[in-house]
Chains A and B, each alone.
Chain A
Amino acid sequence: MFNPFQSPSQRNVIAIECGANALRMLQLGGNAMNPVVQGIAMLPSVGLNSQQAGSDETTIRRIKEALRSGGFSGRSCALSLPAKSILTESIEIPALANNEMKESVSWTAVDRLGVDRTEVVAGHLPIRAGTLGGAPSEVLVVATLRNTVNRTAALLTEAGLEPCKAELGALAAMRLAWNQIKTTTNIPNFAFLHLESDQATLALLNNSGLIFHRSFSWESSSNLNLGAIPVAGEEDESQAWRWRQMAEEILQCLRHIERRAVGSWPEFVTLSGALAEEPGVASAIRTVCGTETRLIDIENSVDWSKVKRPNGPLSAWTSLVAIALPQTTVAAVNKKRRVA
Chain B
Amino acid sequence: MIDFFVDLLPDDAREIFRRRAQFRLVKLGSILALTVATGVVVNSFVELRQAKAQHEVIVALREKSNKIDKRVELSVQERTRLRSEIAVDAMLRSPISTSTIISAISHLLPDGSWLESMKVSLEEQKSLKTPVANRPIYVVLMNGIAPNAQAVQEFATEIRKTAPFVAVTVLEQRAAPKSGGGSEQQFVMRARIDPASRETEARKPDHSGNDVASAQTQIARGGSTR
Residue of A nearest to B7 (CB): A165
B13 touches A125 (CB 8 A): no
Q: Does A243 contact B (CB under 8 A)?
A: no
B72 CB to nearest chain A CB (Å):
68
Q: What's the interface size class on A, roughly?
A: 20 to 34
The answer to whether B9 touches A164 (Cβ under 8 A) is yes
B7 and A167: CB pair below 8 A? yes
Residue A46 is within 8 A (CB to CB) of chain B in the complex: no
B8 lies within 8 A of A124 (CB): no
Q: B201: CB under 8 A from chain A?
A: no
- Distance A86 CA – B6 CA, assembled complex (angstroms): 11
CB pair B10–A167 under 8 Å, yes or no, is no
Query: Complex formed: what's the CA distance from A327 to B2 in Å?
Result: 11
Kindly report which residue of chain B lies nearest to residue A81, judged by CB atoms: B8
* Residues A178 and B4 in contact, CB atoms below 8 Å apart: yes
Residues in B neighbouring A125, C-beta threshold 8 A: 4, 6
B89 in contact (CB, < 8 A): no
A163 near B9 (CB under 8 angstroms)?
A: yes
Bound Cα distance A171, B4 (Å):
6
A149's partner among B2, B4, B5, B10 (CB-CB below 8 A) is: B10
Given A121-B8, A150-B10 in contact, is the A163-B3 Cβ separation under 8 Å?
no
A164 to B20, CA, bound (A): 12
Asked if B21 is an interface residue, CB under 8 A from chain A, the answer is yes
Interface string of A153-193 (1 = CB under 8 A from B): 10001000011111110011011001000000000000000
Judge if B17 is at the interface, Cβ distance under 8 Å: yes
A174 to chain B, nearest CB (A): 6
Query: A residues within 8 A CB of B9?
Result: 79, 121, 149, 153, 163-166
Instruction: Specify which chain A residues have a CB less than 8 angstroms from the CB of B17 in the assembled complex.
Output: 157, 162-164
> Among the listed B2, B7, B10, which residue makes an inter-chain contact with A178, where contact means beta carbons less than 8 Å apart?
B2
Cβ contacts under 8 Å, B1 to chain A: 331
Minimal beta-carbon separation of B15 from chain A (angstroms): 12
CB-contacts of B1-32 with A (<8 A): 1-10, 12-14, 17, 20-21
| Chain B positions 89-143 with a Cβ under 8 Å from a chain A Cβ | none
Q: Check A162/B21 contact, CB under 8 A, given A121-B10, A153-B13.
A: yes
Judge whether B13 and A175 touch: CB under 8 Å.
Answer: no
User: Is A149 within 8 A of B13, CB to CB?
Assistant: yes
Q: Find chain B residues with CB under 8 A from A275 CB.
A: none
Instruction: Pick the residue among A144, A157, A162 that contacts B8 (CB under 8 A).
Output: A144
- A314-330: which have CB < 8 Å to B? 327
- A70 contacts B by Cβ under 8 Å: no
Q: How far is it, in angstroms, between the C-alpha of A123 and the C-alpha of B4 when the chains are bound? A: 11
Task: Give, as a whole number of angstroms, the nearest-CB distance from B2 to chain A.
Answer: 4
Chain B proximity of A153: nearest CB distance (Å): 5
Q: Chain A residues with Cβ under 8 A from B12's Cβ?
A: 146, 150
Q: Which listed residue, A150, A157, A210, touches B4 by the CB 8 Å rule?
A: A210
Residues of B within 8 A of A81 (CB): 8
A276 within 8 A of B: no
A204 at the interface (CB under 8 A from B): no
**Option from A153, A166, A174 in Cβ contact (under 8 Å) with B7:** A166
A174–B21 alpha-carbon span in the complex (Å)? 31
Q: How far is it, in angstroms, between the C-alpha of A144 and the C-alpha of B9 when the chains are bound? A: 10
Instruction: Report the separation of the CA atoms of residues A143 and B6 in the bound assembly, to the nearest whole angstrom.
Output: 9
Given contacts A162-B20, A162-B21, A163-B17, contact A175 B7 (CB under 8 A): no
| C-alpha spacing A331/B2, complex, angstroms | 11
**Do B13 and A123 touch across chains, with their CB atoms under 8 A apart?**
no
Residues of B within 8 A of A164 (CB): 9, 14, 17
Residues on B with beta carbons closer than 8 Å to the beta carbon of A150: 10, 12-13
Closest chain B residue, CB of each to CB of A177:
B4
* Any B CB within 8 A of the CB of A40: no
* Contact in complex: A123, B6 (CB < 8 Å): yes
Chain A residues positioned under 8 Å from B14 (CB to CB): 164
Residue of B nearest to A209 (CB): B2
Nearest chain B CB to A194's CB is how many angstroms away? Answer: 12
- Give the distance in Å from the alpha carbon of A125 to the alpha carbon of B1 in the complex: 12
What separation, in Å, do the CA atoms of A165 and B7 have in the docked complex?
6
Asked if A142 is at the interface of the complex by the 8 Å CB criterion, the answer is yes
B13 and A124 form a contact (CB under 8 A): no
Q: Name the B residues within 8 Å of A175 (CB-CB).
A: 3-5
A146 near B10: Cβ-Cβ < 8 Å: yes
**B1 to chain A: closest residue by CB:** A331
Q: How far is the CB of A100 from chain B (nearest CB, A)?
A: 18
Assembled-state Cα–Cα distance A81/B12 (Å): 18
The answer to whether B3 touches A167 (Cβ under 8 A) is: no
Task: Give complex CA distance A178, B2 in Å.
Answer: 9
8 A-B pairs with the lowest CB-CB distances in the bound complex, closest first: A123-B6, A166-B9, A175-B4, A142-B6, A209-B2, A166-B8, A165-B7, A162-B17
Known pairs A125-B4, A167-B7; list 4 more (Cβ under 8 Å): A124-B6, A164-B14, A166-B9, A175-B4
